[in-house]
Structure 1
Amino acid sequence: MAHPLAVPLADGAWRLHTVRGPWLNTFVFAQGPGREVTLVDTGLPGAPKRVLAGLAAIGRRPSDVRRIVVTHAHPDHAGGAAALAAATGAPVALHGDDVSFALAGAGPRFDPSTRGGRIMARLGKGTFPPVPVAEELTDGQALDGGLHVLATAGHTPGHVALLHEPSGVLVVGDALMNVGRMRVSPRALCNDARLCRQTVRRLAEVDHSVLAFSHGPSVADGAALGAHLRTALV
């Protein structure tokens, strides 16, 4: 049964709500038959308390976390990483192209070629507690527990999606969002809007059963992504 803080996606996979409702999500993946888990994304700086409560709701303790993976260095994904690393003792992993931003606690610039990006730049990139990155991820890397790294640069230089092969859950980070409707990341929020629309295409080639968004509810339809991209990216 779904818990207000934790929603099962598939065997060994859950979505944790770091705000009320599915509008900013952290994901938990079980590693094999034991209690050990990997966390994917950490929410805003104030999210760790809810993340830890979500872990408790599925019977996991902070000490069960063996790795924290951050899809990209924006405050709503990396903001809670430092606190969760301290609370769990788990190392933080991030794609190498976003490491400098995570260490500085400030996201990359927004795309100045778009009007929205220039407006966002004037509003500020958003800061967060610097992240103690222990591992630099690379495209195609296979992590313990069945997570497969898919580089999808554009939203940020080091943005990644993650396929949990045992469950078929594909975490798309912010390459795609499902707020009101499924859509590619808005141009105003991208570091390189054109590149984002190029790299997101590779996700349509990934065999999956559940499409999991950082922003919005998941979609349990392996064909939904390909159908969307065929119409959205013509």
Structure 2
Amino acid sequence: MNMKIADGVEMLQLQMNMMGNTSTINPTLLYDENHAVLVDVGMPGELDALKAAVEQAGVPFNRIDGVILTHQDLDHVGGIQDVLQALDKPVEVYAHPEDQPYIEGDKEPIKMTRENVDQLLERLPQEVHEQVKTLFSNLPTAKVTETVYDGEVLPLFGGVQVIYTPGHTPGHISLYHQPSKTLIAGDATVSENGKIIGPNPQATLEMPIALDSEKKFAMLDISKAICYHGGLCESNVNEQFRQRSEN
């Protein structure tokens, strides 16, 4: 089920099945009566579930005219080609320039090089090998139409501030919806049962950089935080980030 965070802010909940492991991921939908923007688009093959989640929020899918990609990882960008084809109209695609060449397919995604996939297959049971090979043999790409930078305020839905939060990937960004004081963290931090627990070491390329990036959140007035992995945090969010920044 979706979760309404504030007027014009909806946390979507999608089931992700990746290499035999099922988990919930949380793209965000920002919208008003005329426009809608998705923040991240889930895995390949999830278009029907994504459409259903958007429409459950009371937003026609064809109202979407923008997609903001927090970074290059497959569970965030995997649905981009399906989304753009389904909309069949000009759609702005926003990303940070550091991750742009990976999203556009000019470079292999850092965590999904051929060597990485071969190493992954060695650790996985035989029954998921074909799924993994299929998944990584034709990675979705999209043209980034708008590059975004740290501190930039996008003129969308009352103001969406870009926070450059590298570490998880070189071009990872988080977003701060100013009117509702909502942080859309992407993978800059994860949560569990409403508790902020920091970047995931297993999925983060540069942990010291990621921890420094997370400290930026302590400088914001955050009412609620949406973590792509872990979902909504709404209890003492400012205090949680302040405490983490002091460690």
Contact 1:102/1:131, CA 8 A, preserved across alignment: yes
Write the deviation string for residues 201-225 of structure 1: whole angstroms up to 9, x where unpaired. 001111121111101120123x325
Closer, same or farther: CA 226–96 of 1 in aligned 2, 3 Å? farther
Write the distance in 2 (CA, Å) between the matches of 1:224 and 1:58.
25
The one of 142, 160, 176 aligned to 1:147: 160
Alignment of 1:85-164 (within 5 A): 85-88=84-87, 89=89, 90-104=91-105, 106-109=108-111, 122-123=119-120, 127=136, 128-143=139-154, 144-145=156-157, 146-164=159-177
Contact 2:218/2:245, CA 8 A, preserved across alignment: no
Larger radius of gyration: 2
Unaligned residue ranges in structure 1 (runs of 5+)? 111-117
SS of 1:55 mapped into structure 2:
helix
The one of 4, 11, 32 aligned to 1:8: 4
TM (norm. structure 2) is 0.80
Shift of 1:229: 5.2
Shift of 1:193: 1.4
Identity of aligned residues (%): 24
Shift of 1:159: 0.4
Write the distance in 2 (CA, Å) between the matches of 1:93 and 1:208.
23
Shift of 1:153: 0.5
Write the distance in 2 (CA, Å) between the matches of 1:169 and 1:16.
14
Write the distance in 1 (CA, Å) between the matches of 2:197 and 2:108.
25
Write the distance in 1 (CA, Å) between the matches of 2:119 and 2:192.
24
SS of 1:23 mapped into structure 2:
strand
Closer, same or farther: CA 121–164 of 1 in aligned 2, 3 Å? farther
Closer, same or farther: CA 58–227 of 1 in aligned 2, 3 Å? closer
Alignment of 1:223-234 (within 5 A): 223-228=236-241, 230-231=243-244, 234=247
Shift of 1:190: 1.4
Closer, same or farther: CA 136–232 of 1 in aligned 2, 3 Å? closer
1:207 equivalent to 2:210? Answer no
Aligned partner of 1:80 in structure 2 is 79
TM (norm. structure 1) is 0.84
Alignment of 1:45-60 (within 5 A): 45-60=44-59
1:165 equivalent to 2:178? Answer yes
Aligned partner of 1:197 in structure 2 is 211
Shift of 1:232: 7.3
Closer, same or farther: CA 231–157 of 1 in aligned 2, 3 Å? closer
Contact 1:41/1:68, CA 8 A, preserved across alignment: yes
Write the deviation string for residues 162-183 of structure 1: whole angstroms up to 9, x where unpaired. 0111222110110111146531
Aligned partner of 1:178 in structure 2 is 191
Shift of 1:62: 2.3
Closer, same or farther: CA 119–93 of 1 in aligned 2, 3 Å? closer
Aligned partner of 2:25 in structure 1 is 24
Shift of 1:139: 1.1
What amino acid does structure 2 have at the position aligned with 1:227?
A: Q
What amino acid does structure 1 have at the position aligned with 2:119?
A: R
Write the distance in 1 (CA, Å) between the matches of 2:172 and 2:228.
12
How many corresponding residue pairs?
220
Contact 1:26/1:41, CA 8 A, preserved across alignment: yes
Shift of 1:188: 2.5
Unaligned residue ranges in structure 2 (runs of 5+)? 17-21, 122-131
Write the deviation string for residues 78-122 of structure 1: whole angstroms up to 9, x where unpaired. 111121122223221111100111112842249xxxxxxx99993
- Please tell me the root mean square deviation across aligned C-alpha atoms, in Å: 2.7
Q: Which moved more, 1:91-100 or 1:177-186?
A: 177-186
Contact 1:120/1:189, CA 8 A, preserved across alignment: no
Write the distance in 2 (CA, Å) between the matches of 1:25 and 1:170.
13
